Amino acid sequence: METNSHPAVSSRLPCLDGLRAVGIIFVIVCHLQYVVSWHPRGIVKAIWNGLGPLGVNIFFGLSGYLITHLLVKEFRRSGTVSLKNFYMRRALRIFPAFYVYLGVICSLVIWGVLEIPTAQLARAAIYLTNYFPCYGTPDFWFVGHTWSLAVEEQFYLFWPVMLFLVGVGRGKWLALLLIVLMPVIRVGGYYLLPSIRGSLAAC
């Protein structure tokens, strides 16, 4: 169990566990289409394909809510946000398992077991896979799925700093402004940056 800078505050909200389970089930069911012999068509296929993105978006929403919940509680209690403590917790929670996994993948690439471009391994290592997807390379999915982790890490890098700088009150207006601007940014990025259209669709 992870805690914030105050030992009495837990980072786990039991009421969210049911939604986590739903997200997990959606992702698993979506990926089952790659291992079963039945291949649906039409609306059934569309719904089946949509379960994976929906499950991931559920996790994004839960993660954003939980992180914001903890940061707001800390700010209201102490009048600030400890960025040092926040990033230390995130690093200890994510980095060890991720970089062990990436190290194994790099070893398999060196031994010739997998074929993944070096540039893509580097992008995965610095959490930029969502902007530079590697669809079409022989073994892309061994690091291609890190796009979702990259989205989360970028959120962790941006949002706590914003709350630290502007506070909770202004942070609400900042969040609202971003919600309004994001459709404009996404449409503009789609037309002005065609090279990242795939990542915009995935994210």
Show me where the domains of the chain are located: 10-78, 80-203
pTM of the shown model: 0.78
pLDDT of 171 above 80: yes
**pLDDT tens profile 17-56:** 788 888 889 988 888 877 776 677 778 778 888 888 899 9
How confident is the model over 48-86, as pLDDT tens digits?
Answer: 888 888 999 998 999 899 899 889 999 888 888 899 999
Write the DSSP assignment of 169-182 as a string of letters. HHHHHHHHHHHHHH
Contacts made by residues 81-88, CB under 8 angstroms, sequence distance 24+: 81/160, 81/163, 81/164, 82/5, 83/160, 83/161, 83/164, 85/4, 85/5, 86/4, 86/156, 86/160, 87/156, 87/160
CA dihedral for 163, 165, 166, 167, sign (positive or negative):
positive
